[in-house]
Chain A
Amino acid sequence: MSHLLKKWWAALAVLGLLGIGLAAAGNTSVQAASKDNGEFKVGMEAGYAPFNWTQSDSSNGAVKIQGSNEYANGYDVQIAKRIAKALGKTPVVVKTDWDGLPPALTSGKIDAIIAGMSPTPERRKTIDFTNTYYVSNMTMVVRKDGKYANATSLKDFKGAKITGQLSTSDYDAISQIKGVIKEPAMNNFPAMRAAIESGTIDGYASEVPEGSSAEAANPNLKMIHFAKGQGFKTNPDESDLAIGVRKGYEYKAKINEVLAGISQKQRTQIMNEAVANQPSTGNTGNWFVSLMKQYGGMLLRGTGMTILLAVVGTLVGFIIGLLVGIIRTIPRPRSMGKRGILRFFDWLLAVYIEVFRGTPMIVQAAVLYYGSAQALHLSIDRTAAALIIVSINTGAYISEIIRGGITSVDDGQFEAANALGMTHFQMMRKVILPQAVRNSLPAVTNEFIVNIKDTSVLSVISVSELFFSGETIAGQNFQFFHTYLVISGIYLIMTFTISRLFRLIEKHMDGPKNYNVMNNQMQVETPKIGAATSRKDA
């Protein structure tokens, strides 16, 4: 047990070191990890209409989303285009989860956050903000036919179940309502809209533009118009929206200049256009057909990415598992030196397994993708980062699965192979691993299926796999339930296919149930020695 404890301490120590390294790196100012190649990279969710959303074509002056075939548009995109033009750069939209925006900025993956973000004192600790580019007022979105539809004052929301988006000032502001039931914060707006429709919440706090969008797109929702002085009290830090940039960013002054040049009238006009242009729900005919028509391509690409991640992750993880299995079963060498090296490798592998099994994949992905850029100034492609994380993570699990498989192989098999003079590697390859792998196959199938589903956490580093695509679609068409129904269907088809496929592989590995006797001499002659009776089979 002290041995186990030691391993744990080792794992904790490694994690701790990683953390210290990152924290230290965070304090130093970071040069952009990516080269300044004439691009102005803007981070946004592309799912917060009318500020920003995703669409499938370039209509109404949309901007291509980096690494995908989709486009982003909205108030933020239009502002970004003006700034880029003034800087003499090409605007590029980097679609990023809300929580991923600040690390993406500090690590140099993007140059600016234009995403409806307010410059709170909390955020100012890590990043810098330009002047305001939109002044927004807070509102509340409720069910049109619900109890709170006619509210005009915050006081009316006594006893109401209210939520807001995680890590936003909107969510903090809910505490201003006396007697409110503050529900846990949610991740994104599509989820909140669905929550209102399903009745799990009574309303969510939001910004006026988002509220009017919601109202326009979904006939079941209504935005509250508070009487003067009866709504949320906001301070400019929280209600004004500004552009986030790295501390010491060279173009900050220039951006402020550009913003100063856009008048209040122009801003209102851009916002009105955005509200008018936002994708509407195609409510014609069969919902399934129209969903497929509009988003089939996006779903297909998401499915493709999910399959790529799961297949590569499981395959590479499997190979890692085999190698770890081979190394961890090497018998103790006779020489002291070699024994020391082997002990060290064993320890290293144990740490690897404990660390990667003991931390969530979502954290590993964030540490690798944002951490490597921040601490080491390395710019990794996000798909490559995702593939690396899934592979290494799966490798840790499959190593243990294979170890179990090896343990379950009869000792006699090892002894017979040794007795023939096989080396450890020959024995593993020819005799032990084929049996261990066969024994482990059901568990490996499980890992594969888990990978199909759990790679959805990689949306934290903006990998557009199936779940991320689903979020995007639901954010556009406001058909939360239908979209996720289709997504579940696709997941189910994939996982079912995999489990069938692996059953076939298992059958194939087991070989035929019967064998052919190679000639007619069924009876084997056995000359008798010293035996009294003949005991031939009938």
Chain B
Amino acid sequence: MKDEMILQVQNLHKSFGDHEVLKDINLDVHKGEVLSIIGASGSGKSTLLRNINLLEQPTGGDIRFHDQSILADDFDVTLYRAKVGMVFQSFNLFNNLDVLQNVMVGQTTVLKRNPAEARSHAMALLESVGMAPYVNAKPDQLSGGQQQRVAIARAEAMDPEVLLFDEPTSALDPEMVDEVLNTMSKLAHTGLTMVIVTHEMQFARDVSDIVCFMNDGVLAESGTPEQIFEHPQEQRTQEFLKRYMSRV
């Protein structure tokens, strides 16, 4: 049973100046759940994820992690971030570190693991994403798909409770998209809790437990993949999917 609630987003608002990007978002994430967020460009999907791990400060509402407000003054933000990982559209591997160091650095500095332990954990994860042969490479010596697989291993290495993905395949050439999606679906099957913003409809449909459709700063509709993709209730959802499917 996926009952235990990990993350709760409550009446979340976010404005940049007088531009209100998120308008009253409510979202629950349960343990072991894979939740996908789809929606048009500019609808606020990235902004939502960035608020969840506090890369942006919400301007209203609350976000609760294990029923504790992450916005409270005494909340330990760095510890929280170690438990809520993020995979970025533009990979953001540390350019000064090689592949192995990228996957080790969070473990040794934030989790204070000893280097040997961190190394073997990193090697196992790199093995599982198929990047073990490239431990010596620097990020700029790798293809986009390879970089993103390392970034996923880096996030996994922290043993997070939740992983957030912000369009992890949008910056990739088409031939590299699959290798990353494969890695992610393998992860989904391990029971990790994941929140995925994506434009890959087929993928969202295949791996998600819940799909949310975001439109103009609100979560317009959510449900099982089947509900959303086969029987969308909202007209906005129908229009978006129609436009999207015809384009692919």
A528 within 8 Å of B (CB atoms): yes
B65 to chain A, nearest CB (A): 13
Contact of B88 among A415, A515, A526, A531 (CB under 8 A): A415
Tell yes or no: B246 within 8 A of A by CB. Answer: no
Tell whether, in the assembled complex, residue B79 and residue A531 are in contact, meaning their CB atoms are under 8 Å apart. no
Is the CB–CB distance between B130 and A524 below 8 Å? Answer: yes
Find out whether the CB atom of A529 lies under 8 angstroms from the CB atom of B178: yes
- Give the distance in Å from the alpha carbon of A515 to the alpha carbon of B146 in the complex: 14
**Residues in chain B near residue A537, CB distance under 8 A:** 175
- Which residues on B sit within 8 Å (CB–CB) of A431? 94, 96-97, 105
How large, as a class, is the contact surface on chain B? Answer: 35 or more
> CB distance B110 to A420 under 8 Å?
yes
Contact A416:B109 (CB < 8 A) given known A518-B135, A524-B130? no
Beta-carbon contact of B110 and A528 below 8 Å: no
Say yes or no: is B220 at the interface (Cβ < 8 Å to chain A): no
A521 interface residue (CB < 8 Å to B): yes
CB A406 to nearest CB in B, in angstroms, measures 13
- B17 close to A (CB within 8 Å): no
Residues of B within 8 Å of A524, CB to CB, are 130-131, 133, 179
Binary CB contact string for chain B from 95 to 124 against chain A (1 if under 8 A, 0 otherwise): 111100000011001100000000000000
- Asked whether any CB of chain B lies closer than 8 Å to the CB of A421, the reply is yes
Other-chain residue from A335, A430, A511 in contact with B73 (beta carbon distance below 8 A)? A335
Min CB distance, A456 to chain B, in Å? 37
**Are A435 and B95 interface neighbours, CB within 8 A?**
yes
Asked if B192 is an interface residue, CB under 8 A from chain A, the answer is no
Q: Write the A497-529 contact mask toward B (1 if CB under 8 angstroms, else 0).
A: 000000000000001001111110110111111
> Are B181 and A529 closer than 8 Å at their CB atoms?
yes
Across-interface contacts of A516 in B (CB, < 8 A)? 136
- Flag whether A422 is at the interface (Cβ < 8 A): yes
Q: Is B1 an interface residue (CB 8 A)?
A: no
Q: Which of A413, A419, A423, A528 has the most CB of B within 10 A?
A: A419
A355 to chain B, nearest CB (A): 33
Determine the distance from Cα of A251 to Cα of B202 in the docked complex, in whole angstroms.
Answer: 99
| Residue A200 at the chain B interface, CB threshold 8 Å | no
Q: In residues 345-395 of chain A, which contact B (Cβ within 8 Å)?
A: none
User: B93 in the interface, Cβ–Cβ < 8 Å?
Assistant: yes
* A426, A518, A521: most-surrounded residue (chain B CB, <10 A): A518
Instruction: Give the complex CA separation of A412 and B81 in angstroms.
Output: 16
Given A526-B130, A529-B185, A416 and B93 contact (CB-CB distance below 8 Å) = yes
A430 touches B138 (CB 8 A): no
With A412-B88, A421-B80 as contacts: A515 and B136 at CB distance below 8 Å: yes
Task: Find the B residue at minimum CB distance from A514.
Answer: B141
Cβ–Cβ contact A527 & B182, under 8 A:
yes
CB-based nearest A residue for B91: A412
Q: Could you say which residues of chain B place their CB within 8 Å of the CB of A334?
A: 73
B106/A420 in contact, CB under 8 A: yes
Contact call B78/A419, Cβ cutoff below 8 A: no
Q: Which of A335, A413, A422, A435 contacts B106 (CB 8 A)?
A: A422
Tell me if A522 and B206 are in contact (CB < 8 A). Answer: no
- Find out whether the CB atom of A421 lies under 8 angstroms from the CB atom of B82: yes
In the complex, what residues of B have CB within 8 A of residue A412's CB? 88, 90-92
Give CA–CA (A442, B234) in the complex, Å: 58
Q: Which residue of B lies closest to A535 (CB)?
A: B175
Asked whether, in the complex, the Cβ of A416 is within 8 Å of the Cβ of B138, the reply is: no
- Is A285 at the interface (CB under 8 A from chain B)? no
Q: Decide if B229 is an interface residue (CB 8 Å cutoff).
A: no
Chain B residues closer than 8 Å to A415, beta-carbon distance? 55, 86, 88, 92
B38 within 8 A of A: no
Tell me if A434 is interfacial: C-beta within 8 Å of chain B.
yes
| Residue contact B182 to A529, C-beta cutoff 8 Å | yes
Assuming the contacts A421-B82, A431-B96, asked whether A426 and B182 have C-beta atoms less than 8 A apart, the reply is: no
* Chain B residue at minimum C-beta to C-beta distance from A409: B95
Q: Quick check: is A121 within 8 A (CB to CB) of the other chain?
A: no
Closest-CB distance, A414 to chain B (whole angstroms): 9
Which residues of B have CB within 8 Å of A511?
Answer: 98, 138
Q: Which residue of A lies closest to B206 (CB)?
A: A530
- The bracket for how many chain A residues form the interface is 35 or more
Bound: A417/B67 CA distance, A: 25
Quote the shortest CB–CB distance from B59 to chain A (angstroms): 15
Whether A421 contacts B182 in the complex (CB less than 8 A), given A519-B133, A524-B130, comes out as no
Q: How far is the CB of A425 from chain B (nearest CB, A)?
A: 10
Q: Closest approach, in angstroms, between the C-beta of B200 and any C-beta of chain A?
A: 9
B185 contact set on A, CB distance < 8 A: 529
Contact A420 B92 (CB under 8 A): no
CA of A334 to CA of B110 in the docked complex: distance in angstroms?
21
* Residue B13 CB within 8 A of the other chain: no
| B96 pairs with A416, CB closer than 8 A | no
Q: Which residues of A contact B110 (CB under 8 A)?
A: 420-422, 426
**Can you name the residue of chain B whose Cβ is closest to the Cβ of A534?**
B178
User: Which chain B positions have C-beta within 8 A of A267?
Assistant: none
B154 in contact (CB, < 8 A): yes
- Interface membership of chain B positions 121-148, coded 1 if the CB is closer than 8 angstroms to chain A and 0 otherwise: 0000000001111111110010000000
Contact A434 B96 (CB under 8 A): yes
Q: In this assembly, does A58 line the interface, its C-beta being within 8 Å of a C-beta of chain B?
A: no
Q: Which chain B residue has the least Cβ–Cβ distance from A528?
A: B178
Residues of chain A within 8 A (CB-CB) of B155 are 419-420
8 Å CB contact of A420 from B82, B202, B203? B82
Closest-CB distance, B147 to chain A (whole angstroms): 12
How far, in angstroms, from A511 to B140 measured CA to CA in the complex? 12
Residue contact A419 to B85, C-beta cutoff 8 Å: yes
Q: How far is the CA of A529 from the CA of B178 in the complex (A)?
A: 8
CB <8 Å contact, A420 and B178: no
Is A419's CB under 8 angstroms from B81's CB?
yes
Query: Which residue on chain A has the smallest CB distance to residue B203?
Result: A530
Q: Which residue of B lies closest to A437 (CB)?
A: B96
Query: Does A198 sit within 8 A of B, measured CB to CB?
Result: no
Query: Counting CB contacts under 8 A, is A225 at the interface?
Result: no
Cα distance, A535 to B95, chains bound together (Å): 28
Distance in Å: Cβ of B131 to nearest Cβ of chain A: 7
CB contact under 8 A between A416 and B88, given known A515-B141, A522-B133, A530-B202: yes
**Contact (Cβ within 8 A) B106 A438:** no
Residue of A nearest to B55 (CB): A415
A535 contacts B178, C-beta separation under 8 Å: yes
Nearest A residue to B78 via CB reads A421
Query: Footprint of A on B, CB under 8 Å?
Result: 53, 55, 73, 78-83, 85-86, 88, 90-98, 105-106, 109-110, 130-138, 141, 151, 154-155, 158, 174-175, 178-179, 181-182, 185, 202-203, 206
Q: A410-B95, A419-B81, A420-B81 are in contact. List 19 more A-B contacts (CB 8 A).
A: A335-B73, A418-B81, A419-B55, A419-B155, A420-B85, A420-B105, A421-B80, A426-B110, A430-B94, A515-B138, A524-B130, A524-B133, A525-B130, A526-B178, A527-B182, A529-B182, A530-B202, A530-B206, A537-B175
Shortest beta-carbon contacts, A-B, top 7: A421-B82, A524-B130, A412-B92, A416-B92, A421-B81, A420-B106, A419-B86
